[in-house]
Structure 1
Amino acid sequence: MTDESTVPAPALRISLRDRAPEFYRSLLDASRAAIAGLADPVVTELVNLRASQINGCAFCLDRHASDARAKGEQEHRLDTLAAWRETPYFTARERAALALTESVTLVAETRVPNAVFDEAAKHFSEAELAHLIALICAINALNRVGVTSRLTPAPKR
């Protein structure tokens, strides 16, 4: 068994923050605008985490798990988020947001079925739903930047 502290992280391929700063800032601004319009910190972090799990973005997983904990999210919910359908820990509103997150994240496969969209529309106002969709799109874009560039979390001390 290898000591994880000795395994080097993959090398950063390229920094979009440094090489395409206007684009990178615009992604962050889009994410902030979606978060502000949704105004639901719990759903925000669940959405960010679930999309990041699906996309395998280590940087975003680390960041949003830390953010969720800082906002008081419970460990058992974070521990079971990948299997949210099989747990009793999430509200109907959170489940609708998670289902929409998965469907939008996997849009090439799912085409976002009416049933998924309609369920989300039952739990979110039109303005909230628009911002939820914007948030899902923003985190997916950020995940793609993180995965493509090999952005990694900072080592924990």
Structure 2
Amino acid sequence: MTTQETVEYATEHEPRLRWAQHAPEVYKAMLRLDAAARQGVDPRLLELVKIRASQLNHCAFCLDMHSKDALAAGESVERIIQLGAWEESAHFYTEKELAALALTDAVTVLTGGTSQAFGSGGGFVPDDVYERAAKHFEEAELAQLIAAITVINAWNRFGVTCRMTPGHYEAGQHR
């Protein structure tokens, strides 16, 4: 005879603020900026970058969304799972992807490196990280990648601050 065990999960939280409803023009502008930033960036690479930035920013809503979109775009579960430890799992990614992930980390965190020109304490993207990315991306593509990283960081800030609830997004659905 078998018994079924009931598992009780934590209660789903309500968002603090439905910011898009209260600032619809900002939301529409963000959608336009997002669409412009993704131009010319490989869709699978774009999702990896969005997932990685969302991991760093602890944005559960965006992690849910972009993991589902990455899977729908043909990304493997294994590569998505390994993003949290991409430096130790480098063999799962191409050199171009690794350069994009390193740039994502640097742009998202903005605390790496020190410089005589800027003093200690950093707050910038280290030259070696930028140069690594510049070796793998044409200038226009690199500019678009930087824009995409910047935009996902903005989305993350809305998601985290307003405590948007993950788990209800379906792949391909707009924000």
1:23 equivalent to 2:36? Answer no
Measured in 1, the distance between the counterparts of 2:61 and 2:80 equals 16
How many residues align? The count is: 152
User: CA offset at residue 94 of structure 1?
Assistant: 0.2
Q: Determine the structure 1 residue equivalent to 2:8.
A: 3
1:122 equivalent to 2:159? Answer no
Matches within 5 A, 1:91-106: 91-106=94-109
Q: Determine the structure 1 residue equivalent to 2:38.
A: 35
1:145 equivalent to 2:158? Answer yes
- Post-superposition CA distance 1:55-83 (Å, at most 9, x none): 01111000000000001101110111111
Measured in 1, the distance between the counterparts of 2:106 and 2:67 equals 21
Gapped regions of structure 2 (runs ≥ 5): 1-5, 113-123, 170-175
1:132 equivalent to 2:145? Answer yes
Measured in 2, the distance between the counterparts of 1:2 and 1:148 equals 29
Is the partner of 1:76 in helix, strand or coil? helix
Give the % identical residues.
49
- Post-superposition CA distance 1:125-155 (Å, at most 9, x none): 1000000000000000000000000101245
User: CA offset at residue 112 of structure 1?
Assistant: 0.4
Bigger Rg over Cα? 2
User: CA offset at residue 11 of structure 1?
Assistant: 2.0
Is the partner of 1:56 in helix, strand or coil? coil
**One-letter amino acid of the counterpart of residue 87, structure 2:** R
Q: TM-score, normalised by structure 1?
A: 0.92
User: CA offset at residue 2 of structure 1?
Assistant: 5.7
**One-letter amino acid of the counterpart of residue 80, structure 1:** Q
Is the partner of 2:93 in helix, strand or coil? coil
1:72 equivalent to 2:77? Answer no
Q: Determine the structure 1 residue equivalent to 2:120.
A: none
**One-letter amino acid of the counterpart of residue 93, structure 1:** K
Measured in 2, the distance between the counterparts of 1:145 and 1:2 equals 31
**One-letter amino acid of the counterpart of residue 3, structure 1:** E
Measured in 2, the distance between the counterparts of 1:151 and 1:65 equals 16
Higher helix share: 1
Is the partner of 1:85 in helix, strand or coil? coil
Give the one of 66, 73, 82 matched to 2:84. Answer: 82
- Post-superposition CA distance 1:24-72 (Å, at most 9, x none): 121121111111232x011100000000000011110000000000011
Q: Determine the structure 1 residue equivalent to 2:117.
A: none
4+ residue stretches of structure 1 with deviation over 6 A? none
